[in-house]
Amino acid sequence: MAEQLIRLTDVGKNYRKGREAVRVLDGINLGIDKGDFVGLMGPSGSGKTTLLNLLGGLDKPSQGTIEVDGKVVSALSQGALAKWRSGNIGFVFQFYNLLPVLSAARNVALPLLLTSLPASRRKQHVNTALRLVGLAERASHYPRELSGGQEQRVAIARAIVSDPPILLCDEPTGDLDRSTADEIMALLQQLNRDYGKTIVMVTHDPRAASYAHRVLHLDKGELGAAQQ
């Protein structure tokens, strides 16, 4: 049996809307093994992004605990969380979120600025990551000079450059056409299979979800069984 990497216990999340507290997630219990590839589906507004943000330490649960690799991350301070994120989580967003003023290589290098690696080693890591996503020859291109699929590859390179064990992807193919989406999914699959990345991926697209080992359904803040 595989080792459990992520453990959510009775996690809930409320948002304040004016005076009312809106319950977005309720009583979530979930375990994710090391090396798992989990798809997360559900209607708009069901709380998928919220859950992903909690997993990635971008936000804290209103109740319950989140443990990652034995560490209770839901108890960390904001500052400690930032540091923890930089070493453990790679984010991939629907709209890539690359910095337009930086070349592909510099975008990819951003997470390494938070490490004590010397510049020469940083360069090596950046080259490795860009080669892995198949964009080595685009290193000096700026985001506006790249296609959507290429931008997402750069974003993936950025997510893996500091070699975090976990990748969190929020609709990574949501803005791409079908064949480009397939390429991105193949890349994620490769990262999961060959590099042992644990992946949690939100998606609306059943085709993308089919790459996952299992698919969870979120509805009205509650986690349902997979309907595959």
Partner 1 sequence: MFGWLTQTAALAALNLRSLPRRPGTAAVAMSGIAALTGVFAGVLSMATGFEKTMSGSGQENVALVLRSGATAELNSRFSGEQADIVRYAPGIARDVDGDPEVSAELFWVVNALSKSSGAEANVALRGIQPPGYGLRNNYRLAEGRPFTPGRFELIAGRGARNQFAGLEPGRTIRFGKTEWLVTGVFEDGGSVFESELWCDVNVLQSAYQLGNGYQAVRARLDGADGRARLEEALAGEQRLSVDVWSEREFYAEQAEDTATLIRLIGIPISVLMAIGAVFAALNAMHASIVARARELATLRALGFGSFPTALAALLESVTLAFLGGVLGCAVAWLALNGFQASTLGASFSQVVFNFAVTPDLLAQGITAALVVGLVGGAFPAARAATARVTVALREL
The footprint of ligand ADP (CB under 6 A) covers 15, 17, 22, 24, 42, 44-50
By CB under 5 A, how many residues form the interface with Mg ion? 1
- Least Å distance, CB 25 to ligand ADP, is 8
Q: Which of 85, 131, 126 is nearest to 102 (CA)?
A: 126
Whose Cβ is closer to Mg ion: residue 59's or residue 67's?
59
Whether the CB-CB separation of 28 and 10 falls below 8 Å is answered with yes
Q: Residue 222 is encoded by which pair of tokens? A: 């509650």
Nearest distance from residue 58's CB to partner 1, in Å?
5
Q: Minimum distance from CB of 162 to partner 1 (Å)? A: 9
Q: Which of 6, 28, 46, 49 binds Mg ion (CB under 5 A)?
A: 49
Instruction: Give the number of other CB atoms < 10 A from CB of residue 65.
Output: 14
Nearer to partner 1, 77 or 227 (CB): 77
Which helix (H) or strand (E) segment holds residue 20: the answer is: strand 20-33
| Three-state DSSP class for residue 40 | strand
Closer residue to ligand ADP in complex, CB, 42/143: 42
**52-71 residues near Mg ion, rule: CB under 5 A:** none
Q: How many CB atoms lie within 10 A of CB 184?
A: 23
Binding site for partner 1 (CB under 8 A): 49-50, 53, 56, 58-59, 78-79, 82-83, 85-87, 91, 93, 95, 97, 99-102, 110-111, 113-114, 116, 158
The distance between the two most distant Cα atoms of the chain, rounded to a whole number of Å, is: 53
Taking the complex as a whole, the smallest distance from the CB of residue 16 to ligand ADP amounts, in Å, to 7
CA torsion sign for 67, 205, 48, 151 is: positive
Tell me the C-alpha distance between 39 and 20, whole Å. 31
Retrieve residue 110's tokens.
């951003």
Is 54 or 132 the residue whose CB approaches ligand ADP more closely? 54
How far is Cα 168 from Cα 97, in angstroms, rounded to an integer?
A: 14
186 contact choice in partner 1, ligand ADP, Mg ion, none (CB below 5 to 8 Å, kind-dependent): none
The residue among 48 and 125 lying less far from ligand ADP, judged by its C-beta, is: 48
Instruction: Show the CA angle centred on residue 187, arms to residues 181 and 192, nearest 5°.
Output: 125
Q: Which region among 31-39, 48-56, 119-127, 208-216 touches Mg ion (by CB under 5 A)? A: 48-56
Residues at the contact surface with Mg ion, assessed by CB under 5 A: 49
